């Protein structure tokens, strides 16, 4: 390689990569009292599928929902924009899903792609209602605890129907004695299947998984990737899979 060819090659390497050549970015948000490790397997699978995954770290018991939405979701969006991603998707578990709804209701996101919610308490958490009656739990739960309840002061009550492509994955395996007492069946040991539904969602599927570990389940992960790619869940005879408005309420 002569000097001229070397300089030309160096110039090409230094040029910015056009947005069309960048991969879509997926913002991952874990649930209440969880950490980023809970979403690590999903992040790796998304990277393997050709996405750029940004697994957001945030404290779930320190700040109110409004602050967490601005910091966690907004921070994830900023990180994706720094990577010049042509589209920004979301995969969020439990509380993380409510943060996404709050953020997208209050912010325009031109790059918005698709959203997958894992066990979201879209109608509020019946389990949180019961736990908040236990002395001391309100302090332990932080500001987000009361906001996740089903009452009129809860954040779910104040959010409108969704206006974006949304696929919801719910669980129906209950191994939690408290959930037997406090949460309507079927439920995933924390959130009822009924509460995961929200007006405007595109697709909804129910799997035999539990709330606390579903984000690590291979079938859940595969379905999340499928939805981001196609906007639908590929159902099978073993899945209780319903799509569209007919599945609402």
Which residues are CB-neighbours of 25 under 8 A, at least 6 positions away? Answer: 51, 52, 53, 54, 79, 80, 83, 85, 87, 88, 89
Given this model, what pLDDT does residue 6 score?
47
| CA neighbours closer than 13 Å in the CB half-sphere of residue 102 | 27
Q: Express each pLDDT in 199-208 by its tens digit.
A: 999 999 999 9
The reported pTM is 0.84
* 103 DSSP 8-state letter: H
Name the CATH superfamily, with its identifier, for domain 21-247: Alpha/Beta hydrolase fold, catalytic domain (3.40.50.1820)
Which residues are CB-neighbours of 156 under 8 A, at least 6 positions away? Answer: 98, 121, 122, 123, 124, 148, 150
Which residues are CB-neighbours of 53 under 8 A, at least 6 positions away? Answer: 25, 26, 28, 42, 43, 44, 46, 47
The yes-or-no verdict on residue 141 having pLDDT over 80 is no
Parse the chain into domains and list their residue ranges: 21-247
The yes-or-no verdict on residue 27 having pLDDT over 80 is yes
Residue 60 · residue 144 · CB < 8 Å: yes
Residue 224 · residue 91 · CB < 8 Å: yes
Given this model, what pLDDT does residue 18 score?
44
Q: What mean pLDDT is reported for the chain?
A: 84
Residue 81 · residue 112 · CB < 8 Å: no
**How far is it, in rounded angstroms, from Cα 123 to Cα 101?**
12
Residue of 92, 132, 117, 98 whose CA lies nearest to 201: 117
pLDDT top residue among 23 and 235: 23
Given this model, what pLDDT does residue 75 score?
94
């Amino acid at each position: 390689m002569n000097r001229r060819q070397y300089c030309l090659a160096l110039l090409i390497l230094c040029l910015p990569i056009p947005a069309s050549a960048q991969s879509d970015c997926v913002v991952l948000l874990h649930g209440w009292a969880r950490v980023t490790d809970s979403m690590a397997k999903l992040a790796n699978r998304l990277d393997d599928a050709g996405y750029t995954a940004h697994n957001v770290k945030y404290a779930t018991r320190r700040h109110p929902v409004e602050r967490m939405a601005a910091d966690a979701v907004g921070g994830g969006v900023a990180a994706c924009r720094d990577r010049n991603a042509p589209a920004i998707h979301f995969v969020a578990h439990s509380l993380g899903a409510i943060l996404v709804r709050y953020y997208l209701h209050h912010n325009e996101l031109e790059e918005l792609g698709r959203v997958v919610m894992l066990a979201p308490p879209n109608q509020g958490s019946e389990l949180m209602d019961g736990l908040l009656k236990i002395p001391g739990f309100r302090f332990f739960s932080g500001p987000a605890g009361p906001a996740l309840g089903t009452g009129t002061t809860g954040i779910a009550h104040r959010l409108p129907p969704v206006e974006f492509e949304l696929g919801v994955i719910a669980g129906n395996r209950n191994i939690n004695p408290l959930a037997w007492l406090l949460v309507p069946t079927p439920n995933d040991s924390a959130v009822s299947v009924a509460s995961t539904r929200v007006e405007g969602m595109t697709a909804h599927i129910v799997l035999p998984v539990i709330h606390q570990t579903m984000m690590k389940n291979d079938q859940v992960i595969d379905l999340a990737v499928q939805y981001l790619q196609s906007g639908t869940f590929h159902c099978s005879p073993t899945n209780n899979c319903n799509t569209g408005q007919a599945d609402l309420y």
